[in-house]
Amino acid sequence: MALYTCKLGASDGKILYREFEAAESSVLRKSLEDQGFFVFEVKKKPFQFLFDKGIKRRKIDNKALLTFNQEMLVLIKSGIPIMQVLDAILDRHDSGKLSEVLQQVREDVKGGAALSVAMEKHGRAFPYLYVASIRAGERTGDLPRTIRRYIQYLKRVGDIRKKVISALFYPSILVFFAAMAITLLLVYVVPTFSQVYTDSGSQLPALTQLLITFTSLLRRFFIVGLVVVFGLIAVFKKWINTEAGRYAVDRFKLTMPVIGDVFTKYSVASFARTLATVLGSGIPIIESLRMSIGTLNNVYMEKRLFEAVRYVEEGGRLSAALEKINIMPPLALRMLGVGETTGSLEDMLIDISDYLEDELEERLHMLTTAIEPAIMLIMGVVIGVIILAMYLPIFKIAGTVG
């Protein structure tokens, strides 16, 4: 992802300068235009490697953002003015990433800017979705309610992300140690046996000879192989950072057997929960849809959803639009249709995200339960074949002696 500096025209006539991350300038330009901005210029920031540390330093993780919002909610509900709220939070966070950003936000608010406007200048620290929620809360005069909703959103998204990571953690450890064990056998153990067999001058079985030839080639071209592998990885990473590459990879992820269903449910659940949070903040449906698209983290699905947004703009129902692009399960679509009919779209979106997250958790549990023994079985078979190949000559000699 590259960093771009953008000159934008807002709907109220203001000229804005913002920084955004994107794979391609064309994708970023289209996204900004769909959000209602007039895009004057999109320029890639030069020499980005010089700014990498600064960029990372200005980011605020979800945990810090959650703590900040919890503190702000308590203080605002107590009736304390926003300037004193920021002062109180800064007293508790006298150093670190959050403190640096909040110092600048405080100065802007002190100068008469709204809290959302002050935060909007720090797009690297405060997500666009968060800033829009704060702005909506300021418009409706119920900022605590908006913050409370965003806190619930952060907690739920954090929980589901932890579940996904924990589900993948143990299988990853198994694969790593299995690969290490097999590499150790091939690089150190097999060559020792092969040297002994070479010195004995005996006729080796075909399986043993094949393994010895393979390990000999592996040791001879190990460094070259590493260079080639890392080169291919670098080329692949560069390709997936292009619009075409990211689109192809994201589409492939959704078509993978079993795992594709996990990716789909995770993306749609995040989208549904985000849309419910934004709608609950009082933001109109079209703007809410555009803001929520970015939470899919899948370029292929994002492009499909842009088609759905256009359908809704033309007067179509959201459930019909999502049915046309076929990214939601039938039951979720029926629930969405009921929510639109009864006027409880926000509550139904939360129910849909809960339903999809429960299904996702069940699927992840099933996958991890199946993957662990599968990895152990494959590792056992590979190691067994290597050991068998090494001991076949010994068995042959023992049979001859007997």
Tell me: pLDDT of 401 over 60.
no
Query: Could you report the per-residue pLDDT of 121-130, keeping only the tens digit for each?
Result: 777 778 777 8
What is the Cα–Cα distance from 190 to 390, expressed in whole angstroms?
A: 7
The closest alpha carbon to 269, from 379, 209, 349, 389, belongs to 349
Tell me: pLDDT of 396 over 60.
yes
- Give the end of a domain, one of 58, 76, 98: 58
Which domain range does residue 319 map to? Answer: 263-359
Q: Is residue 194 part of a domain?
A: no
- Give the end of a domain, one of 10, 36, 58: 58
pLDDT mean over 97-122? 84
Residues contacting residue 26 through CB under 8 Å, at least 6 positions apart? 243
The DSSP result for 66-109, as a single string, is HHHHHHHHHHHHTT--HHHHHHHHHHH--SSHHHHHHHHHHHHH
What is the Cα–Cα distance from 191 to 219, expressed in whole angstroms?
A: 9
pLDDT of residue 365: 80
Q: Is residue 393 part of a domain?
A: no
Tell me: pLDDT of 193 over 80.
no
Residue 42's SS3 state is strand
CB burial of residue 50 (10 Å; 0-12, 13-18, 19+): exposed
Q: Is residue 245 part of a domain?
A: no
CA dihedral 242, 128, 265, 377 (to 10 degrees): 60
pLDDT mean over 222-242? 88
Residue 17 is which amino acid?
Y
Tell me: pLDDT of 13 over 70.
no
Q: Is residue 325 part of a domain?
A: yes
pLDDT of residue 230: 93
Q: Is residue 74 part of a domain?
A: no
Tell me: pLDDT of 184 over 70.
yes
pLDDT mean over 240-251? 84
Report the share of the chain in percent with pLDDT over 70: 90
- Give how far Cα 14 sits from Cα of 7, 38, 108, 284, Å: 11, 10, 17, 21
pLDDT mean over 193-198? 76
CATH number (domain holding residue 277) = 1.20.81.30
- Residue 45 vs residue 143, higher pLDDT: 143
- Give the end of a domain, one of 24, 40, 58: 58
pLDDT of residue 282: 77
- Residue 2 vs residue 157, higher pLDDT: 157
Stated as kind and residue range, the H or E segment containing 308 is helix 299-313
pLDDT of residue 22: 66
Average per-residue pLDDT for the chain = 80
How far is the first Cα of the chain from the last one, in angstroms, to the nearest whole number? 67
Report the share of the chain in percent with pLDDT over 90: 3
pLDDT mean over 174-191? 82
Domain count, the chain: 2
Q: Is residue 154 part of a domain?
A: no
Tell me: pLDDT of 35 over 90.
no
Q: Is residue 41 part of a domain?
A: yes
Query: Could you report the per-residue pLDDT of 202-230, keeping only the tens digit for each?
Result: 677 888 888 888 888 888 888 888 899 99
Query: Could you report the per-residue pLDDT of 332-372, keeping only the tens digit for each?
Result: 889 888 988 888 888 898 898 888 888 888 888 888 788 87
What is the Cα–Cα distance from 227 to 365, expressed in whole angstroms?
A: 37
Tell me: pLDDT of 231 over 90.
yes
Q: Is residue 95 part of a domain?
A: no
Tell me: pLDDT of 235 over 90.
yes
What is the token pair recorded at 25?
């300038």
Split at pLDDT 50, 70, 90, the class of 2 is low
Tell me: pLDDT of 96 over 80.
no
What is the Cα–Cα distance from 392 to 351, expressed in whole angstroms?
A: 61
